[in-house]
């Protein structure tokens, strides 16, 4: 097999994460690693198939450049791959859908047949493979060894190098697998004629009639079997685990009631539930201190660009505002104290503006939202630790009218 930049990527994943995926899907670690490599090869094949589409390649180049280096390993660390409702999987599925279109199901089935993994497991590994490819492409864009012009040739070379990890005859564009027809030479049977006397046939016919009568009597005289129904075991479904953008357990999804009587499914310990409780309780009046921190928003590093997995929580907040039309919010942006204070101030304002703009595209009137950047002021955790700094880099909302 030709040398490939992607040939040993499966070795980059932590053993504990691979064990977790293997346990979740009831497969061996070796099978899961094989599935990861096949998924990476399939994604590269799909991208290579569309490498002549300049618009598509431009989008992939932009998406790869904005994908963090640790996107895939972070998802593994936070069990996002084993949570079917995770924003990571929904974001990765957008890439797979735009790459494969209506062929995604056929590709999943082909890889499932090759690896022996269930289709659900292959779908998960394809999401991991897609994000891994984007992360590594992003690294090459950032170090200057790859650009949009050289990307098509690079994808074609890598796809060819990894073809051995795919089923024979597999094509990411057609999702077909070549089968080989085997021609079998006919066997010529020799006929042996045995002469029997004519007197043999009446005896033979008599025996056949007797055998048929005996079989008829036995079949109709035996008792009918009684079918015993064995109840299927009842297996309680395991509720999906929702995690925050910094790894905190937000619990499972629960239904909460909104102002107009509709319901919304949100993480039981998430920001949305706390905000809705404040809105619904008449004893809570708007004030200047009751801020609610988003816990599932992610931005590109040192940027105001929201990552796709942020959409779930923004949709929840937009749905809440639509159901409660009297609510007005201040949206505050915050950073940690690393770097230049003026830069942090501008970044916090840009991020608050980005969230407000996104909510407006979801149907929220501009006069109900105010964006304000606070820079590194008002920290909620210790800036001397990485965990504390991650908590301080946040977007919060304050109810100003209800």
What is the maximum span of the chain, computed from C-alpha positions, in angstroms? 116
> How far apart (Å, rounded) are the C-alpha atoms in residues 299 and 164?
37
Let me know if residue 200 belongs to a domain: no
Same domain, 272 and 386: yes
Residues 142 and 15 grouped into a single domain:
yes
Residue 368: inside a domain: yes
Q: Which residues contact 216 (CB under 8 A, 6 or more apart)?
A: none
One domain, residues 152 and 55: yes
Token pair of 350, please? 């840009």
Q: Is the dihedral of CA 293, 295, 296, 297 positive or negative?
A: positive
Report the distance separating Cα 18 and Cα 267, nearest Å.
26
Say if residue 150 is in the same domain as residue 267.
no
Residues 13, 131: one domain?
Answer: yes
152 and 29 in a single domain? The answer is yes
Say if residues 371 and 349 touch (Cβ distance below 8 Å).
yes
**What are the backbone dihedrals phi and psi of residue 372, each rounded to the nearest 5 degrees, phi first?**
-145, 130
pLDDT digits (tens, 9 = 90+) for 336-365: 999 999 999 999 999 999 999 999 999 999
Distance CA 35, CA 255 (A): 36
Taking alpha carbons only, the member of 11, 35, 79, 75 closest to residue 309 is 75
Q: Are residues 148 and 272 in the same domain?
A: no
Split at pLDDT 50, 70, 90, the class of 67 is: confident
Confidence of residue 293 (pLDDT cuts 50, 70, 90): very high
394 in Cβ contact with 362 (< 8 Å)? no
Domain containing residue 286: CATH number: 3.30.1330.60
- Whose tokens are 């004893």? That residue is 283
Q: Is residue 182 part of a domain?
A: no
Which pLDDT value is given to residue 349?
98
Q: Within this chain, do residues 395 and 310 fall inside the same structural domain, yes or no?
A: yes
Looking at 132, 165, 198, which one is the last position of a domain?
A: 165
Instruction: Tell me the backbone φ, ψ of residue 145, rounded to 5 degrees.
Output: -85, 0
Last residue of one domain, picked from the residues 165, 200, 229: 165
Residue 74 pLDDT more than 50?
Answer: yes
* 210 lies in some domain: no
Is residue 288 domain-shared with residue 156, that is, in the same domain?
A: no
Angle made by CA atoms 235, 239, 242, in degrees to the nearest 5: 160
Instruction: Evaluate whether residue 275 is within a structural domain.
Output: yes
Higher pLDDT pick, 98 / 186 = 98
Q: Alpha carbon of 20 to those of 26, 87, 131, 164, 216: distances in Å?
A: 10, 19, 18, 27, 59
398 vs 189, residue with greater confidence: 398
Whether residue 64 is predicted with pLDDT greater than 50 in this model: the reply is yes
Statement to judge: residues 284 and 158 lie in one domain? no
Can you tell me the distance from the alpha carbon of 34 to that of 133, in angstroms, rounded to the nearest whole number?
16
Q: What is the per-residue pLDDT for 65?
A: 79
**Mean pLDDT (whole number) for 233-244:** 65
DSSP-assigned letters across all residues of 312-330: HHHHHHHHHHHHSTT-EEE
* 74: in domain: yes
Final residue belonging to a domain, choices 165, 184, 207: 165
CA-to-CA distance for 265 and 313, rounded, in angstroms? 11
Question: In sequence order, what DSSP letters do the residues of 196-243 get, joined into one string?
Answer: --TTHHHHHHHHHHHHHHHHHHHHHHSPPPPP---PPPP-PPPPPPEE
Task: Please report which helix (H) or strand (E) contains residue 265, including its range.
Answer: strand 263-267
Question: Poorest-confidence range of 12-16, 173-177, 251-255, 271-275?
Answer: 173-177
10 Å CB burial of residue 289 (0-12, 13-18, 19+) is: exposed
- pLDDT beyond 90 at 319: yes
Confidence of residue 278 (pLDDT cuts 50, 70, 90): very high
Number of domains in the chain: 2
Distance of CA 375 to the CA centre of its chain: 33
- Higher-pLDDT residue of 39, 219: 39
Q: In 26-53, which residue ranges form alpha helices assigned H by DSSP?
A: 29-49
Size (the chain), residues: 402
Task: Please report where in the chains the tokens 């039981």 appear, as a residue.
Answer: 268
Task: Clarify whether residues 26 and 132 are in a common domain.
Answer: yes
Q: In this structure, is the dihedral angle defined by the CA atoms of residues 203, 204, 207 and 208, taken in order, positive or negative?
A: negative
pLDDT at residue 53 greater than cutoff 50: yes
Q: Is the pLDDT of residue 100 over 60?
A: yes
One domain, residues 390 and 252: yes
Q: How far is CA 249 from CA 149, 267, 389, 390, in A?
A: 42, 9, 19, 16
The whole-number pLDDT of residue 328 equals 98
Q: Is residue 194, in this structure, part of any structural domain at all?
A: no
Residue 350 domain boundaries: 242-401
Least Cα distance to 66 among 6, 137, 170, 12 occurs for 137
């Amino acid at each position: 097999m030709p040398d490939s930049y992607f040939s040993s990527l499966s070795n980059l994943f932590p053993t504990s994460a691979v064990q977790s995926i293997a346990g979740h899907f009831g497969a061996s670690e070796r099978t899961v690693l094989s599935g990861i490599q096949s998924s990476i090869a399939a994604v590269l094949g799909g991208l290579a198939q569309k490498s002549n589409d300049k618009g598509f390649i431009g989008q992939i180049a932009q998406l790869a450049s904005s994908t963090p280096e640790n996107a895939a390993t972070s998802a593994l660390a936070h069990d996002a791959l084993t949570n079917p409702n995770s924003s990571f999987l929904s974001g990765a599925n957008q890439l797979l859908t735009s790459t494969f279109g209506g062929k995604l199901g056929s590709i999943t089935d082909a890889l499932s047949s090759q690896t022996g993994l269930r289709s659900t497991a292959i779908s998960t590994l394809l999401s991991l493979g897609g994000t891994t490819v984007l992360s590594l492409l992003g690294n090459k864009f950032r170090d200057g060894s790859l650009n949009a012009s050289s990307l098509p040739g690079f994808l074609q070379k890598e796809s060819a190098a990894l073809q051995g990890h795919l089923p024979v005859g597999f094509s990411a564009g057609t999702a077909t697998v070549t089968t080989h027809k085997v021609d079998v030479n006919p066997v010529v049977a020799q006929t042996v004629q045995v002469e029997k006397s004519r007197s043999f046939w009446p005896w033979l016919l008599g025996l056949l009639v007797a055998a048929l009568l005996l079989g008829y009597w036995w079949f109709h005289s035996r008792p009918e079997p009684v079918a015993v129904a064995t109840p299927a075991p009842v297996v309680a479904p395991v509720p999906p685990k929702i995690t925050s953008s910094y790894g905190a357990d937000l619990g499972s999804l629960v239904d909460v009631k909104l102002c107009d009587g509709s319901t919304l499914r949100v993480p039981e310990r998430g920001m949305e539930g706390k905000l809705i409780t404040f809105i619904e309780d008449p004893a809570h009046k708007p004030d200047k201190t009751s801020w609610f921190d988003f816990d599932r928003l992610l931005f590109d590093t040192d940027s105001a660009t929201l990552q796709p997995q942020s959409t779930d929580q923004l949709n929840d907040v937009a749905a809440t505002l639509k159901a409660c039309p009297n609510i007005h919010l201040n949206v505050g942006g915050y950073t940690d104290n690393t770097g230049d204070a003026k830069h942090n101030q501008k970044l916090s304002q840009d991020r608050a503006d980005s969230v407000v703009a996104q909510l407006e595209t979801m149907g929220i009137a501009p006069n109900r939202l105010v964006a304000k950047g606070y820079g590194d002021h008002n920290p909620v955790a210790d800036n001397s630790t990485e965990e504390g700094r991650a908590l301080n880099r946040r977007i919060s909302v304050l109810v100003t009218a209800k």
